[in-house]
Amino acid sequence: MGTSTTKVARVEGQAGTKDGVFGLEVHIRLSVEKLTETSYTRLCSTKNILTVNGQFPGPEIHVHKGDTVILNVTNNGNYNVTLHWHGVKQPRNPWSDGPEYITQCPIKPGANFTYEIKFSSEEGTLWWHAHSDWSRATVHGAIIVYPENGTSYPFPNPHAEETIIFAIPISDDPNHSIDSSSYVLEGSWYKGDVMEIIEEALEKGGEPNLSDAFTINGQPGDLYDCSKPGTFRMLVEYGKTYLLRMVNAGMNEELFFSIAQHQLTVVGTDGAYIKPLTVDYLMITPGQTMDVLLEADQSSSHYYMAARAYSSGTGVPFDNTTTTAILQYSGNYTVPSSLSLPYLPYYNDTAAVTNFTRGLRSLASEDHPIAVPKTVDTRVYTTISMSTYPCANNSCDGPNGSRVLASMSNISFVTPSIDILGAYYNQISGVYDTDFPNEPPYFFNFTADEISSDLLTPTFGTKVIVVEYNSSVEIVIQGTNLLSTAENHPMHLHGYNFYLVGSGFGNFNNVTDPNGYNLVDPPEVNTVGIPKNGWTAIRFLADNPGKLIL
């Protein structure tokens, strides 16, 4: 992508120009066990992975607010691929949003596709990733959106910036450390081939295998076998302030993150600024991004950076390992022989998650105003569930030989044979239906400890909701305890940021719960974690025509 260093590709040329156009080319190369294009070794084992331009993570895209990027993707792999620009609103440009069979058909092996990425009001850290099966496990990278020329951050300029992505690790140099333009990654590592893992799960109807490790900057850290030499190190100078650009590109797990003896100040989420929030730890869900200030204000030494899962589900398996990196001060001093782990909340500490997320509030300043819809034209109340579907002779790997499915309002999505946006634009009938319900088909105690098995089986369909242009929309997303597997779950909205106006536990009460909405300074985000056995309310203005996906 453009002019590049080993790990970071900066968008050069017209990078300081509003509405500038950038010529970039990304080559998607497939490397699985059978093709041996690129191999990487972690946790004492070696495997091949799908990469972008041979890099994992993929190259960063650096732009200014309001820029436009033209990016050509050539798929040199053996799987269909699309790319999504997570958090980029793409005003009046849904054709380049990327989710397969929603806004485009996938890019076939040997084919290419040109994306036009239109940045508008976004400012801060976003990311891009494959939007086809689990290929995003290794096909992703950060997007850095700087303020417009002539403007600045709403906080003092940091000494340097570091990108932190939670993702599957790949790095050729076991001694790699970063400077102000390098990656710091956190995420998951699977010893098996990720595409084979998800394909097996889909075939057999069970859940996919757990990851074998979490990672920071592509390295598991020194608590894992065969990993100590590659432990990631972040170099800092005493007295300096650093802007950490954090992305959770992991597949499934929300993560707690902290740095020993250092506080973190969150100043942005999902490409929008918030009131500075100083914390000892943070929790970031898959798909979320955060901008975080770190002051190097401790005695010169080495300090652990660490992350581990937040897993709220009762009896739900999860990767319970801890990934580490080292915050290393420059200068001459005696390096400690051992390091203490920082404080991290316990893996199921929902109170810690709630305390953190409820502290996030929009900056809502004169230079960074917000526009929360005060009235609502369209209201949607939808449930999200893990459901099951019977298999012949109880032959699947789900509960009681069934197939595990996800559903919304008891409808499990059926992928169409062509993209929904193309069908809409070309008036092709029979591809999708416009009768997705504005409320669940059945009302019951969604968060009860025990729920009748009669409610486990969903219907199937390719359904959408149609809303009027410029109408204000409120969606309340209700978590459920079907299969007794309720857990915190992230949801992302394409084409928009939305205002997180409320959340709570139990069943949403449409009479009393709206009284507690924050309509003054709610965070403006594109991804949110729905609390275990709880609900989340979001609002946005439907001013971006095209197909959006939740």
The structure tokens 């732009």 sit at 63
Contact assessment for residue 545 and residue 474, using Cβ atoms and an 8 Å cutoff = no
- Please tell me the number of Cα atoms within 13 Å of 101 on its side-chain side: 13
Report the distance separating Cα 504 and Cα 26, nearest Å: 42
In sign, the C-alpha dihedral spanning 431, 437, 443, 449 is positive
Q: Order of strands, edge to edge, in the sheet holding 524-525?
A: 459-461, 411-413, 403-408, 378-389, 471-479, 534-542, 498-505, 524-525
CB burial class (10 A; 0-12, 13-18, 19+) of residue 50? buried
**Full DSSP string of 267-321:** EEETTEEEEEEEES-EEE-TT-EEEEEEE--S-SSEEEEEEEEE---TT------
Single-letter code of the amino acid located at 433: D
Domains of the chain: residue spans and CATH:
28-148 (2.60.40.420), 194-359 (2.60.40.420), 378-542 (2.60.40.420)
Dist CA 178 CA 165 (whole Å): 13
| 179-236 pLDDT, tens digit each | 333 334 455 667 677 777 778 878 888 887 777 888 877 778 898 888 888 888 899 9
Q: Which residue has the tokens 């250092």?
A: 262
> Of the candidates 70, 59, 60, which has an alpha carbon nearest to the alpha carbon of residue 118?
70
| Integer Cα distance of 303 and 299 in angstroms | 10
Specify the pLDDT at position 185.
Answer: 45
Q: Give the type of residue at 393.
A: N
Residue ranges, the chain, pLDDT below 50: 1-36, 168-185
pLDDT confidence of residue 86: 96
Handedness of CA 508, 512, 515, 516 (dihedral sign): negative
Give, in order, the Cα–Cα distances in Å from 259 to each of 227, 255, 282, 369, 406: 20, 13, 10, 32, 35
- Buried/exposed code over 342-359 (b: 16+ C-beta within 10 A; e: otherwise): bebbebbbbebbbebbee
Cα 219 to Cα 275: distance, rounded to the nearest angstrom:
32
HSE, side-chain direction, 13 A CA sphere, residue 143 = 28
- Beta bridge partner(s), residue 274: 362
Q: What is the pTM of this model?
A: 0.89
Give the model confidence (pLDDT) of 63-94 as tens digits: 999 999 998 888 888 788 899 999 999 999 99
Q: And the tokens for 36?
A: 């041996």
Handedness of CA 329, 308, 188, 227 (dihedral sign): positive
Q: Which amino acid is at 66?
A: G
Among 132, 143, 125, CA closest to 109: 132
Token reading at 478: 């209700």
Rounded CA-CA distance 501/498 in Å is 9
Q: Quote the CA–CA distance of 525 and 271 in Å, as a whole number.
A: 8
Structure tokens belonging to residue 262: 């250092």
Two tokens, residue 242: 């650093």
